[in-house]
Chains A and B, each alone.
Chain A
Amino acid sequence: DVKVTQSSRYLVKRTGEKVFLECVQDMDHENMFWYRQDPGLGLRLIYFSYDVKMKEKGDIPEGYSVSREKKERFSLILESASTNQTSMYLCASSLPGAGITEAFFGQGTRLTVV
């Protein structure tokens, strides 16, 4: 059974803290993604990576960075957490797209910044 695992289901952090969200996939996928899910705004792409040590900005990268040192692991970093980063964060992975590719999602991390 394919799996994308996010290290935490719930996190509460203080404003200004550096926050790490971890994601691991066991499908040997080249592509990995971090999305943010907010009511009424859908899934917005923060960053994605198409290979180890490679990354590209998505639609809302401000205030975030990422790290991909190994193929199976993709980390999202909030350099200095702010209350407007309170959200559900979803990690996903996929094979390289040839026009058709399924994205597999983790269960999400609900982050609250107080």
Chain B
Amino acid sequence: QQQVKQSPQSLIVQKGGISIINCAYENTAFDYFPWYQQFPGKGPALLIAIRPDVSEKKEGRFTISFNKSAKQFSLHIMDSQPGDSATYFCAAFPRGFQKLVFGTGTRLLVSP
């Protein structure tokens, strides 16, 4: 079974700080690595994604760093805001399949 391991399970960051969430995968045949953001009472929504031929992707305050040799990727949230408080899921898209494999989720709380 393909797996994506995510850490930490929960994270508390002060407003203005940097939030870092890490994921690692065990199968080399993944084509796409998205991050999903879920607010309470809502379904997850795509936040940012990266392909394995790119080492970094930045969109506003959100950055994905990708280390292909280590099979790891991480989400950095710069200048974290209380509105960023949510659950974050990393995911990977296996080559040749039609489904995403999700990590276990990180509950982020940004304190005012």
Contact A42 to B103, CB < 8 A, known contacts A50-B98, A97-B93 = yes
User: Secondary structure at chain B's binding surface: helix, strand, loop or mixed?
Assistant: loop
Contact A31 to B43, CB < 8 A, known contacts A40-B9, A59-B1, A100-B32 = no
**A114 CB to nearest B CB, Å:** 22
* A-B CB proximity, top 4 nearest: A105-B43, A99-B31, A42-B104, A43-B102
Say yes or no: is A61 at the interface (Cβ < 8 Å to chain B): no
Measured between beta carbons, the chain A residues less than 8 angstroms from B109 are none
Q: Indicate which residue in A41, A96, A103, A106 contacts B100 across the interface (CB closer than 8 Å).
A: A103
> Does the CB pair A107–B49 fall under 8 Å?
no
A-B contact pairs, 28 of them (CB 8 A): A4-B43, A35-B102, A40-B9, A40-B104, A41-B104, A42-B6, A42-B89, A42-B102, A43-B44, A43-B102, A48-B99, A50-B98, A58-B99, A90-B43, A92-B43, A96-B98, A97-B97, A99-B31, A100-B49, A101-B93, A102-B46, A103-B36, A103-B100, A105-B43, A106-B43, A107-B41, A107-B42, A108-B41
Within 8 A of B (CB), among A81-114: 90, 92, 94, 96-97, 99-108
Measured between beta carbons, the chain A residues less than 8 angstroms from B36 are 103
Bitwise interface map of B from 23 to 56 toward A, beta carbon under 8 Å scored 1, else 0: 0000000011010100001111110010100000
- Interface size for chain A: under 10, 10 to 19, 20 to 34, or 35 or more residues? 20 to 34
List B residues at the A interface (Cβ < 8 Å). 1, 6, 9, 31-32, 34, 36, 41-46, 49, 51, 89, 93, 95, 97-100, 102-105
Measured between beta carbons, the chain B residues less than 8 angstroms from A77 are none
Measured between beta carbons, the chain B residues less than 8 angstroms from A4 are 43
Report Cα–Cα, A103/B6, bound state, in Å: 19
- Closest residue of B by beta carbon distance from A88: B43
Report Cα–Cα, A105/B97, bound state, in Å: 19
Q: Indicate which residue in A33, A41, A100, A105 contacts B99 across the interface (CB closer than 8 Å).
A: A33
Measured between beta carbons, the chain B residues less than 8 angstroms from A102 are 34, 46, 49
